[in-house]
Structure 1
């Protein structure tokens, strides 16, 4: 188990203090608002060259100007595979860190033009296409890391392989969110298994409960104020996993509050906002999801 001096209240700036990320190249998706901004800010402050991969380029450019340092903006819509392909084909040179931060939560029922459930398509499939499309750049970096931002919400549902896209089940916003967040963890498990020999590792992170635009589809009563973090605190675990020397060569794990968390078999076994469900780390589930995702993208 990886444990550190950082914890619930640590900020991204504190995590990166003293690190020199000069010559490191980082992509952060969904970095025009919320914890994505603070993730990018902390990494840029340590000298990294950061690209904000965002749907709204104007908002991204405004964010980049406010961050300072070497920060670029690029168009990326995770629900549009042509946009993902444009981004990956346009990337030049090695990539040291990919932070899959963008996401949606508990949205009303909606589907992509391929018939994919919106949350699964945005939170998992778009990032899957992005990461696999950037595999060559990650390999070229030597020791690259992928940070897959998930949620304790993964405990709301495993990936229901028999009906991922709600063709037969009644749509349930939180169930759909839960399986997409489980997919984020499983991706890290299988990416590490497949890519470790290329020097690439992937880990999943739970940022905590943070009030950002992500929560626009839920009410204030759904958030416990006693466990809520600031955006600076919420970005800390992503930055820790992306940069900590303790994680060199380590992948396929789940982190919260800047530490590896324990695996549980029941949601009520874990303290609030802590723990990872065993099914989310299961190698068989991870391999099945990878194959399923490749098949979907090949047919798109």
Structure 2
């Protein structure tokens, strides 16, 4: 019933308790109880006597039907959309659980809200309801973990390609897994792998992208951020954004399987946030200062220090401007 009542309130207009009850086949008291559940999702509900209930600005719910229609013919048979969940702990966690189920297609897991969304290094990923995108795609590789170096950078290239299709320019990539717009975070990538180090393995590609972040949520975000609404003035529907990103992501992953990261290196490097700038690489033990010289053919960061140009691989590391 919660899904149905949100569908009715999605237009942002007032709907009387009587009309909602009639549409849902329940009493006005049951409608009131559903409104409490709507508020528990973090949505603001206006209640005005004599007029009814409304969600200011409406709510942009994801549509599984429209998402599937938005997939290009080239990828439609390569991705299997799982039921879109209103709320779940983490799309990556759900995808990792789903890896035990055999199948030929990549599986796409999507949620309107995450209650335990994760970024790299154990950080929380703020995931307000029906505001941004939180999704995970499973992908199978047959050449072992060693061949997956640079994969997070490849995903960044795919997201850049998709965003350009939406008219979003000036986006840069921050090694190893963030997308920035004018030095503010727009999206992040979290990869998790299961399988044989030298043979068949499965990867979960988790992506979070800010589309229309509620301003009251910004207090929970620890770094400068931006969303598509600010960049474009008015963001496309989240369903359209997601379809466009998946249409770019799957062909780019196929390109990576065929060419490796070296075939995509120049494209990543052209969008490098810190190219030739002074940066600090933070590891668990040390802070290393140097000039960012891009990445090598495996996706390792090239840092020019007092010892010369050194290569650093991803993991529990963080890069920031000096």
Question: TM-score range, shorter-chain basis?
Answer: 0.3 to 0.5
TM-score, with length taken from structure 2: 0.33
Q: 1 or 2, which has the higher helix percentage?
A: 1
Q: 1 or 2, which has the higher strand percentage?
A: 2
Asked which structure has the greater RCO (Cα within 8 Å, sep 6+), the reply is 1
TM-score, with length taken from structure 1: 0.35
